[in-house]
Every structure is written in C-alpha cells, then in structure tokens.
Amino acid sequence: MVETAGLYQRYDNNSDYVLKNINLTINRGEFVFIVGASGAGKSTLLKLMIREIAPTSGTIKVFGQDLKRIPARRIPYLRRNIGIVFQDFRLLEERTAYDNIAFALRVTGTPWWEIRRRVPRVLEMVGLKDKERCRVCDLSGGEQQRVGIARAIVNRPAMIIADEPTGNLDPDTSLEVMNILRDINIQGTTIVVATHDQEIVDRFQKRVIYLEKGRLVSDEKKGAYIRAL
C-alpha cells in the first residue's frame, strides 16, 4: 500500500534533511503508529504519502503509484483513495456536520442521492447520528474530530492517514476517537496515525514505527511507545 526506498526529504537546498533514508512498507489492512518527538519528521512523512510534497530523492509508492512521477492532474484521484484526519480537524465551522461530510462527496462529483444515502450512514458509524444538523462550531472537540473521521471515510478510501488526531483532545475523548479508527481498521481500511500520545500507542499494541531526527530507528510489529524508544 505504501512503499518507500531510500527516501530523503528536505524543504530547500540549504536546509538539513527532515527525512533521511527511510525504507518501509505498509501493507493493506495494517494499523500503523508513526511516533517520535516533534520535528522527527512524522508530519513530513504523511505529507509525502498524500503527495502534498514531492520527495527530494528516493522513491515513495502509494497504491503502486510512484509519487515522484505522478502527474499533477492524477493527484486528486490518489487523494480520493486516502482519508485524511487532522489534529486541528480542518472543518468548515459555520456549516453543519452533515454539510461538512457531504462537501467531501460533492466536490468529488458524487450524485446527490448517493450523498443523501451515505452521509447519515457514516455519521452513525462515528456515533453522531443525532448531531447531523448541528453546526460544527457548536460541537465539542471530540465530536468535531469524529466529524473529521466521518469525512475521511465517506469516500470509502483504502487508507486513512491521521496526523496527531488526538492532539487537541482530552484522554477519554482521545480513546473514543482511536476506538473509532480501530473499528474502521477492523473492516479492512489501512490506518496510519502519527502521534506522540504514549498512552494510546501502548494501549493499542499495533505496529509502531519510531522516527528520530529524520531517521527510522525502530519498526516493531506489536510495539509500544516505550519499547520503540
């Protein structure tokens, strides 16, 4: 699903490499935590996976497509297969939960009847069925993140990439959000989560990739944050 080989990344020619010689493979159906201190390169790695940036050198393939060579017009279609969840939710705050999710379907050209069928279903999946008509700005942080997840899964992507999805949430709410992601994973969707929430990583016992100063220093199948260190 994701394959990197000798991946290097830096933001301009004079700066240091943010990622150095990353070689990893993420298979279909996996649940992967990417951990490391701030500035370790977690977010950069995720940005490369959604082709927000192009690699400086080395290769990164997602769904078998070489993202260094992918034509710009193909990028939107790549992203339709990846659901993205952000730490700061990135929702349209003045609009309702329903609208936010429908928006992701509308802008990818889904017909209205399909939108009407799918949106309530994903809202139910994330436990927000009764909040359909609430404006996002009136929802709690945890509820907002659930809207974010619902938006990420509504296009039925093969993979979900979440960048610090619990970064703005309290521990209980974080757990709820992670449980939703785990449930989605059980149904077969690949999940990649960048986090430095040690408690979550330890509790879930999933694969843990540890980055330090841009290098991949450990990759454990059923890891914990502590062991990764």
Partner 1 sequence: MPFESFFYFLGEAFKSLYRNRWLSIASVGVVAITLLMLGTFMAVNFNINHMAETVKNQVEITVQIDDSAGVEERNQLRQMLVAHNSITEVRFVSREEALNRLKEQLPPGSLDGYENPEDNPLPDSFEIRTSVPEEVIPVAKEIEGYPAVEKVLYGEGTVENLFKTTTALKIIGIVLMVLLAVTAVFLISHTIRLTVLLRRREIMIMKYVGATNSFIRWPFLLEGLFLGLAGAVLPLLVLYYSYGAALQWVDAANLTFLSLIPLSTIMLQLFKYLVPLGTGLGVLGSIFSMGRFLKV
Report the interface residues with partner 1, using CB under 8 A.
Answer: 50, 52, 73, 76-81, 84, 90-92, 94, 103-104, 106-109, 151, 155
Minimum Å gap between C-beta 227 and partner 1 is: 33
- Exposure string over 149-170, b if 16+ CB within 10 A, otherwise e: bbbbbbbebbbbbbbbbbbbbe
* Comparison of 49 and 224: residue with beta carbon closer to partner 1: 49
Minimum Å gap between C-beta 220 and partner 1 is: 30
Minimum Å gap between C-beta 90 and partner 1 is: 6
* Comparison of 73 and 221: residue with beta carbon closer to partner 1: 73
* Comparison of 150 and 208: residue with beta carbon closer to partner 1: 150
Dist CA 66 CA 8 (whole Å)? 15
Dist CA 86 CA 143 (whole Å)? 13
Minimum Å gap between C-beta 144 and partner 1 is: 13
| Signed CA dihedral, 60, 61, 62, 68: sign only | positive
Strand partners, 62: 2, 65
* Comparison of 90 and 203: residue with beta carbon closer to partner 1: 90
